[in-house]
Chain A
Amino acid sequence: EDKVVQSPLSLVVHEGDTVTLNCSYEVTNFRSLLWYKQEKKAPTFLFMLTSSGIEKKSGRLSSILDKKELFSILNITATQTGDSAVYLCAVDSGTASKLTFGTGTRLQVTL
């Protein structure tokens, strides 16, 4: 059974801090790893990673994948209150590219 584990489960930081969110996985047929941000409604896409060691970057967010050690990290620098959300990691594997999700990391950024 495919498995995705995220840590920490929740995190409270002050505005301006840098945070690192972790995602480890065990899947039978890895195709890609995806990060989503979820505020009150639907998850919104952040990154898709397919190759080890290549950093994806978007503004203050960046992510990298290690296919040998089976994990990914999502970094957020200079956090803002608007970064408060649940961050979801998912792995695309197997037939029909089904996504297996972790339970998410709830990030709260305080003033």
Chain B
Amino acid sequence: DAGITQSPRHKVTETGTPVTLRCHQTENHRYMYWYRQDPGHGLRLIHYSYGVKDTDKGEVSDGYSVSRSKTEDFLLTLESATSSQTSVYFCATRDPANYGYTFGSGTRLTVV
């Protein structure tokens, strides 16, 4: 396993507040991804990173920003949380040696 840790595991926040989710990996993988999972939509890519300070948008990036200041950490920030951002968020990394992807355990975020 890629040793991916997501924090927090659960969070309830109020509409309009900023929220940051953290993904930490111990395998020195270059590629990291943030997905959200919602019923009826499957997993959708929010943002991804292909190296330190190198990030790009996925298909559902509005309202989210990311930062990657170190190889091991990839942060996802909801700038002003809305109820539509209530979801389960998964971080993933990719091992370039075998193209395998590994997912973290997820963060369940509820915006009230």
Contacts and interface: CB of A to CB of B under 8 A. Distances in A.
Chains A and B are bound partners: yes
**Nearest 4 A/B pairs, CB to CB:** A42-B103, A103-B42, A101-B43, A101-B42
Contacts of A84: none
B43 A34 contact: no
Contact of A99 (B33, B56, B105, B106): B33
A99 B90 contact: no
Given A45-B100, A48-B100, A92-B99, A98 B105 contact: no
A43 interface: yes
A41 B100 contact: no
11 contacts: A34-B101, A42-B104, A42-B105, A42-B106, A45-B101, A48-B99, A96-B56, A97-B94, A99-B43, A99-B101, A102-B42
B74 interface: no
A90 B94 CA distance: 14
A98 B58 contact: yes
A1 B41 CA distance: 15
Give the interface residue-count category, chain A. 20 to 34
Give the interface residue-count category, chain B. 20 to 34
Contact of A42 (B33, B41, B45, B90): B90
B48 A96 contact: yes
Contact of A96 (B50, B59, B100, B103): B50
Interface in A52-105: 88, 90, 92, 96-104
Nearest to A41: B105
A32 interface: yes
A111 to B, nearest CB: 26
Interface string B91-103: 0101000011111
Contacts of A88: 42-43
Contacts of B40: 103
A16 B31 CA distance: 40
A32 B90 CA distance: 21
